[in-house]
Structure 1
């Protein structure tokens, strides 16, 4: 890419996003990077993503812990889209997040995973934001799918078919992750049915389903699909992945509504 082309792209971004927009985007991207790269060990019970998934939730693997940082990033990506209200916001944030990862990895030399999939996650969320999911019959599709996913996950737990650990061994303790994922999936089905215009919730959930399936497909050391979990663990892990992304998007909507309420109250009081 030539310097002229780079300058042209930067000028288009500058004309599209106002200085205030870019300030918000940079701050949220930085917060997303710090949260996903350094903050999770202080936020999650049991430590980092892998310890949280396998040690605390007793979920099976593989891959259940690797996408946790991307799931938390959904919070900031969706919040950016809600605040800026311009297509391309999440993608711009994702590129900045990856740039922060690259910069810190070059400075530190180790300890930072270069997660290029975060850009794909942002693209998926943006795509779902422009789809007409609030129209029939699409407004029924994802609530029904979530009910099915939740029921299957709970059924696996109740029938003693839950798996745990990196290798997907039979669960020897109460599989908390199965219970939480199944119940939250049913709750999210109700949310998506009652608020079909909150499309970023579905987008964030689907982005994490893509993320974990991509890891299963391409992250194996002995070829394609060599990292795929045992079959009984797949429904629960897909449900867990969707729930993680969707819950982060719900939190983003909650923060946005609180901020709007606070702003309106401040204006009325003034």
Structure 2
């Protein structure tokens, strides 16, 4: 083992050392918030800031049960998952068709349309809240999950198009021609031929969209006014009162919330990285 370490240090150049230190720094900056959240979730409120970096003297496991009961975390997670999955399903169907048309230049100004969708990424969500709320009020869409799903579809189309246009653009047109010779129409070509080939890109767009919808707060907080309809992001606000904020319960709730997302991401991590890299290179 010592020989391996000595050999590694001999081959260590200044550039490699800088890269290693930057990676180590990034790892620490990424790991600390997770450590702080988990440790704080097991403490009393007055212990959190007094012993910020220390493990709890007596783990307060009941914080998790109190958090789940106080804010209705479990039902809120179900609402968030339903809305997220519904939004992603609608979005993938729409984006697959639009991305194929743009990537294959089947319409005039396809490139301009692609730039228009990319430009939408630069518009902050806060700038769209007022017109969105006015539109929802006009159609009577408050506390309506389907209306909220359509809003999320519109908000996530740009990033999904960015991923899929680049990915589909890297697929040979000969595949389309072979499908046409076999008698496939446009929709069959997209969903029976291109869709399976584009699965890494589709998975990436779906995961990114799912995470965006699952974590969204401002719009859900305005549109979902009934307690039973709250998403997980809105439910977390229940721990913040006018005169007191229960930090330990907030941290416990965050841990409960991130566990399914963390598992979901770890299972799909390879597809996310492959899809993003392929979309960027091919685009």
TM range (shorter): under 0.3
The TM-score normalised by the length of structure 1 is 0.27
The TM-score normalised by the length of structure 2 is 0.26
Q: Which has the higher contact order (CA 8 A, sep 6+)?
A: 2
Higher helix proportion (structure 1 or 2): 2
